[in-house]
Amino acid sequence: MRKLWDKLVALSNFLSEIDRELAKLEVLILSANRLSGRIPQSISNITSLWRFAANSNNLNGSIPDGIAKHLKNLDLSYNSLSGLIPSDLLSSLNLHTLDLSNNRLAGQIPEIQSPSLVKLRLGSNLLDGKSLINMNLQGNKLSGSIPASIASMDSLVELQLGENHLSGDIPRMPTILQIALNLSSNLFQGPILETLSSLSGLEILDLSNNKFSGKISEFLTTWEP
């Protein structure tokens, strides 16, 4: 174990290379340490590696191109990573979950082309919000109202806000929302507002486990594909 650790970390820094002795490694979890420096490009050379987690460290620099080439799960959250999100990162054929939240990443979000991606977390960065495609803030401790400015996020196609403590009126949503709007398990109450009636292209609407009352809004039964 010490030999493996020495290959990965020296004086709390990543080594610049991960050699062929790790060629059979499938899972590498380095979370919640004091690792610093850059992520080695050679991570992408381990073809057997399907899960890599290095969250909650002090890693900096940019995310290497091709890092998710073979991965299914990648978690680099809570570091000091900067620069752009690599253009190929969201195009990986195998990638299921990606968490880059709480870093210093900037610029636009690449187009999501991965057919396997089911979870994407990009919150708390310096990204251009106008280009945000998927916002997943589910299962946090968010409270208060959803800000009205959400309507101006005209690239957003999926919004996951379930399992929080949100309340107040539901504001007008981006009309481009298509994949899902999840407001389940919050504290919304009263009638289901007509502000949702413009989301005619929406595939999934989850308002369960709230305190909505009154009649089922007519627009919910008259949406056309």
Q: What's the longest Cα–Cα distance across the chain?
A: 66
pLDDT of residue 124: 76
More confident residue, 17 or 86: 86
pLDDT of residue 20: 53
pLDDT of residue 164: 86
Q: Mean pLDDT score of the chain, rounded to an integer?
A: 81
CB atoms within 10 A of CB 115: 10
For residues 181 and 199, give the distance between their C-alpha atoms in angstroms, rounded to a whole number: 10
List domains and CATH numbers for the chain: 1-123 (3.80.10.10), 133-225 (3.80.10.10)
pLDDT of residue 53: 96
pLDDT of residue 17: 47
For residues 117 and 91, give the distance between their C-alpha atoms in angstroms, rounded to a whole number: 9
| Closest CA relative to residue 129, chosen from 111, 152, 99 | 152
More confident residue, 133 or 156: 156
**Is the pTM for the entire model greater than 0.85?**
no
For residues 72 and 202, give the distance between their C-alpha atoms in angstroms, rounded to a whole number: 27
80-125 pLDDT, tens digit each: 999 999 988 988 888 988 999 889 998 877 766 676 777 778 777 8
Burial (0-12, 13-18, 19+ Cβ within 10 Å), 7? middle
Predicted confidence band of residue 183 (pLDDT cuts 50, 70, 90):
very high
Supply 82's token pair. Answer: 């900067």
pLDDT of residue 5: 43
Q: What percent of the chain has pLDDT over 70?
A: 81
